[in-house]
Structure 1
């Protein structure tokens, strides 16, 4: 069918304005990001049809990295080629990076002040509530039968009791998918919702549009890999020429590069992996600092995976004895190495992934990987939650009833009253300050 559309291609300047705006208003995590893009790009501007939007989103779920940012890169690429994809992806992250840098500096300089600590004490229970809600939302969509429930439970047990890395668990899920597809493929079958009928020709990009650069073409992919490798090496040269502890920076760069390749499933998948290694093995920051970083990331726009930038900041800051400069370099390096592969995955991988559409084996693999994500989120909930509810150790006498109560209140506000994340964050900060003030007054009276 001919590529006919009633909507003209948006100008690059018009798209640029939207991507810039998106970087500053994209609160609410992945669901919030997708909702904003869908409302503007599909409903308001009709730059892309609903079917192609969901089609692109499903591809981004396959790729490692934050799917909302990769969706922006993907749509930017479809609208204006690689130039559009670069602008969309960079502007999606840049505002949150600068905001988090400012918050990180405030955190290390004034975090020990009572009122600052009180603010974070109010935020932490709300963060746990947000993770719990994410767990239920993902589980409802991902666990479609006994097989998926079993894989999620096994993934959770492996991470909690045996400290197995997420990468190994995902590899095991892929192997299991191959075995099941050969022995019992019917286990993968599930009912699909009927597709909504819409006027595809009322959109600039629709299901009849010619897909750019589909299929596997070795020369363009090798060129992209070469460019990405060149960019990847630039910070190494800087570290070797201008820093003292080259080993630390090499370790940080390699760690966040590796992290970027195991983030299938989005931010909630990578955070347990980063928390496990940066806290328990690398000793870059403490468990409570990791929870504080998660709370900081919740207050910024952009992808939640930006919490990795905070980890990089704390790693540089702590390793170099409280140096704000080294902390800033750590934040910039961790951001660079976390998000650089995202552009490579979309530009090189998306055309290839499109050819796997409706492939039963690929759908089966994705289903098991998503089940692993559920187990990872549950593990994250316990990993962070136990330090909020039991700050003095997991025993009844150290139970923090105030934090437990605010977790429940936050869940009610999110679930029943559908409170916006920004409002919940603000209310939680006020709750923390109010609790501190009341406790302080009570202490003076006594």
Structure 2
């Protein structure tokens, strides 16, 4: 893609993607918050509408939406090379951290100092997530209809455990029908794109420009997408052919299947993974899935990287190698490969189509409605995260059609509550930078541990 005057170079963008990668704590809500703050608020490389359009697209795909957003935006700015750099950097810090902690877990068990650092990070991430809900909601919920969609989405998933794909499909249908019916709230697609020569606002641009992607960019994306499919499936085919029935073949097949079924993000499939990994395959002992999830939640990168821990432990126990940690490392790498290679394929094959659809008013309105619903989903994730940060235990609550989780009051963690309040003050009132808030909170967590408070 040709470099334009004033546009960030690939090297400059690489530095920013690396920064986003090491700050992307807190699961999808926290990662989306970090990207929005850095790309839209600080750097102003991306307008709000373009950011939300990317979010809409990635929410419709299987796999980790935040990592796919990074890949998509990287492609928009610098073509296939930008997509690969942004997507790979988003994965790399979490992959390395999870591998190191998996080794530590396998050899020593839990490490209190690491747990203390992550205790502080959780409080900071909670503040960043709530800030993202406020900022994205402020821009996406432009009228009462969009506000109502966000509220309905939140209550549907929080109280009734509604499937995420159903929420997205209904929101898109409402937006589409609303435009066709001429309802004013849906006209213009909520700020996404333009048609018929209408003015393109700064919010819909990249660095104030309406990015006109050349045909070569689309062709290159399709070629790279087909290559990603081949790179994903070829190792799987080789394992099936050469070592049928091995734990590595089981890992490759199971997590490849999961890669095309993980709609709604990691939370939607973790219960299924835990059941299969413990009950069907015997890769994990009961309770180890929660340990892996705890590590994944408190490290940068997509939450779905908890699957790396599952593959690591499965190969550790089942491979039968003389050097079990070497087998475990290969199992973790293989799991990561078949989990994320499809993500690059979905983005590179689908992104060119999505850019063309930005000029379709009805589709733009459908995607704007999806954005409104996604605000409700992010709020749900934020509240879910808050409950698990501030209380040590939660319990299921079922009443008729209502099915949710509520905190156990007596397990309130006063230190977590106090640190979360300080983080909220730092983010909303003092407007401190992400790195400062995360680093400061981690150090406070370590200090509390050394003082014997936690």
Which runs of structure 2 are paired with 1:42-441 in the superposition (5 Å)?
57=51, 60-64=54-58, 65=65, 66-77=68-79, 82=80, 85-87=83-85, 89-91=87-89, 93-94=91-92, 96-106=94-104, 109=107, 112-189=110-187, 195=201, 207=210, 211-213=214-216, 226-240=226-240, 241-242=242-243, 244-245=246-247, 246-259=249-262, 262=263, 270-275=265-270, 277-278=272-273, 286-287=289-290, 289-297=292-300, 304-305=301-302, 307-309=303-305, 311-320=306-315, 324-325=325-326, 328-393=329-394, 394-439=407-452
Distance (whole Å) between structure 1 residues aligned to residue 334 and residue 422 of structure 2:
38
Greater Cα shift, 233-242 or 142-151: 233-242
Task: Give me the whole-angstrom Cα distance separating, in 2, the residues matched to 1:24 and 1:113.
Answer: 27
State the distance in 2 between where 1:145 and 1:9 align.
33
CA 1:178/1:395 → structure 2, altered by over 3 Å: closer, same or farther?
same
Q: How much has 1:380 moved relative to structure 2?
A: 1.6
Contact 2:98-2:296 at 8 Å conserved across structures? no
Q: Is the Cα contact below 8 Å between 1:291 and 1:384 reproduced in 2?
A: no
Contact 2:98 2:309 survives alignment (8 Å):
no
Deviations 1:367-415 (A, max 9, x none): 1111221222222223333232221342322211111111111111111
Q: Name the CA shift for 1:56/1:213 in 2 (closer, same or farther; >3 Å).
A: farther
Q: Per-residue CA shift, 1:52-88, capped at 9, x if unaligned?
A: x7786565334324323321123221xxxx4565455
Report if the CA contact (8 A) 2:124-2:420 is conserved.
yes
Report what 1:301 is aligned to.
none
Change (3 A) 1:184 1:328: farther
What is the CA distance between 1:234 and its match in structure 2?
2.0
CA shift, 1:208, in A, is 8.4
Instruction: Pick closer, same or farther for the CA change 1:116–1:210 going to 2, 3 Å.
Output: closer
Contact 1:308 1:335 in 2 (8 A): no
Residues 252, 338 of structure 2: 8 Å contact kept:
no
* Distance of 1:63 and 1:163 partners within structure 2: 22
Q: Is the partner of 1:296 in helix, strand or coil?
A: coil
**Cα distance, 1:401–1:102 mapped onto 2, change above 3 Å:** same
Mapped to 2, the partners of 1:232 and 1:421 lie a distance apart of: 34
Partner-residue secondary structure (3-state), 1:366? helix
Equivalent-residue separation in structure 2 for 1:214 and 1:433 (angstroms): 47
Contact 1:177 1:368 in 2 (8 A): yes
- Secondary structure in 1 matching 2:299: helix
How many angstroms apart in 2 are the aligned matches of 1:275 and 1:137?
A: 29
Unpaired stretches in structure 1, ≥5 consecutive residues:
44-49, 263-268, 298-303, 442-446
**111-120 vs 362-371, which moves further:** 111-120
Separation (CA, whole Å) in 2 of partners of 1:21 and 1:348: 26
Which position in structure 1 is the counterpart of 2:194? Answer: none
User: TM-score by structure 2 length?
Assistant: 0.72
TM-score of the two chains, using structure 1 as the length reference: 0.73
Unaligned runs of 5+ in 2: 24-30, 59-64, 192-198, 279-283, 318-323, 395-406
Deviation (angstroms), 1:359: 2.4
| Counterpart-to-counterpart distance in 1, 2:82 and 2:382 | 37
Superposed CA RMSD = 4.1
Give the secondary-structure state (helix, strand or coil) at the position aligned to 2:261. Answer: helix
Offset, 1:316: 1.9
